[in-house]
Amino acid sequence: MSPLISPGDLGDATILDVRWRLVGAPGIDSYREGHLPGAVFCDLDRDLAAPPGAGGRHPLPDAGAFQEAMRRLGVSASRRVVVYDEADSTAAARAWWTLRYFGHPDVRVLDGGYRRWAEEGHPVTKEEPAVEPGDFTARPGGMPMLDAAQAGALAGEGVLLDARGAERYRGEVEPIDPVAGHIPGAVSAPTMENVDPSGRFHPAEFLRERFISFGALPEVPVGAYCGSGVTAAHEVLAMEIAGVHAALYVGSWSNWVADSSRPVEKG
């Protein structure tokens, strides 16, 4: 079952608008300007992450908080959930991964997001729907996850992909976190190369060849990290499309550098 879905295939689903920006206007502003009919706004910072701290800038929420958030948004285990963002699925992938981690059996990402939906002429609305609370029960463990020690070990024993831009991986720039560089042994694999200029994912065969070039094979232990566990979820999603089941280091670089004893590599 593909984790992606096209605009014409949504059917009966709970739809979550997960538009989000690291900087700039909040996603709720875009939602209020127009969204898919029936879609409910899901706030990445509030609903898909715990407060920032030593665990990183977007640590995993605990099961109780996540369950409460999803029920408030109308999520039930018996009904498919479709998530989307503006176009490239970066934020939507975090929603996909978190729902899957906490046990939802059917979560799809709208490939191409809101932009594709609108460009293909599907209806949009500013009307915010009345939400009937869902009955989703959060059960952790549905997707593989790494902590810092496991991520560091995987970089030497398997394949750990760094989903950030190559210049951040090399340590040439670091606009957000206090230390520049990467986890020793990690491989640079910028996640934005998983999508085409429109924001849609490249075909599965293209992605499969891309990840093979990094050594990421179905039989090899593979993981991914980024700055705070958002774009790395996009990397995990791309690998899922390619047939590679990968683990996510949710705390990512922002958690790694919170402990000054952890090694850092540049170049």
Give the residue among 174, 173, 213, 179 at the shortest CA–CA distance from 193: 213
**Catalytic positions:** 226
Which H or E run includes 82? strand 81-84
The Cα–Cα gap between 189 and 162 comes to 6
For helices 231-242 and 204-213, the axis angle rounded to 10 degrees is 110
b/e 202-214 (16+ beta carbons within 10 angstroms → b): beeeebbebbeeb
Q: Which two tokens stand for residue 43?
A: 């706030």
